[in-house]
Copies of this chain bind each other. A is one copy, B any other.
Amino acid sequence: MATGRTHRPATRSRGIPEATVARLPLYLRALTALSERSVPTVSSEELAAAAGVNSAKLRKDFSYLGSYGTRGVGYDVEYLVYQISRELGLTQDWPVVIVGIGNLGAALANYGGFASRGFRVAALIDADPAMAGKPVAGIPVQHTDELEKIIDDNGVSIGVIATPAGAAQQVCDRLVAAGVTSILNFAPTVLSVPDGVDVRKVDLSIELQILAFHEQRKAGEEAASEADAVPLAAKEAGKGPDGDVPAVMPA
């Protein structure tokens, strides 16, 4: 969805479509579950159901990786787990730093899904001096002043931004300057980065707004009121209780 702006036309090697890449982690998770239950093989139909997609799509996706299945039988679970992991770059482990240790940052630090998938939280960084030294998820928080040194010492190329919106671009710039080339942004802001740097964003309130759109549709399903003229009374001014708790701020 939101990778860095116009990078090169298409990575030449074996261009795997972006939509397929986005689904590989899904397949990987379903396969891992099967693997844990010692299921030896799985058909595209079964795996697709477990991953919540349809089987034709899954087969097409796998066809970009190569021919890893056996006709009449299905896919070898262990082998596929390995191939997808390798394709995603998860056979090595990636040190990541999390910047902004509010509620959300702490949640991320504690999130088991990172560690179990080849990601290692190398450091937690926060601008609040009072946080410095305090352990979160067993890792001591370090002050922002150390950012460049931390990136450099740990060879970090992936950074997670969980600061308030106002601080995000600044943090981003420092991360990039220090050598980070992939950023996962939880702050509700558009980050601008130089070419070659990938940014993905997760925006909590946007997801809810999309749901609200569909919810509204459902509500007005029968007796479709075409009657809404245009009150224009945009009294919907930016409301009050904004500046409270940290984590992430609204726009």
Residues in chain A within 8 A of chain B (CB atoms): 1-3, 11, 13, 21-22, 24-26, 28-30, 32-33, 35-36, 50-52, 68, 70, 76, 78-79, 81-82, 85-96, 102-104, 106-108, 110-119, 137, 152, 154-155, 157-158, 160, 178-179, 181-184, 188, 190, 192, 195-196, 198, 200, 202-218, 220, 224, 228-239, 241-251
Contact = CB atoms under 8 A, between A and B. Distances in A.
Copies held by the complex: 2
Given A87-B213, A89-B212, 11 more contacts: A1-B1, A2-B52, A11-B217, A25-B205, A30-B190, A79-B248, A111-B248, A113-B251, A155-B235, A179-B233, A198-B215
A216 B118 CA distance: 13
B117 A249 contact: no
A199 to B, nearest CB: 9
Contact of A234 (B36, B81, B111, B246): B81
A241 B241 CA distance: 53
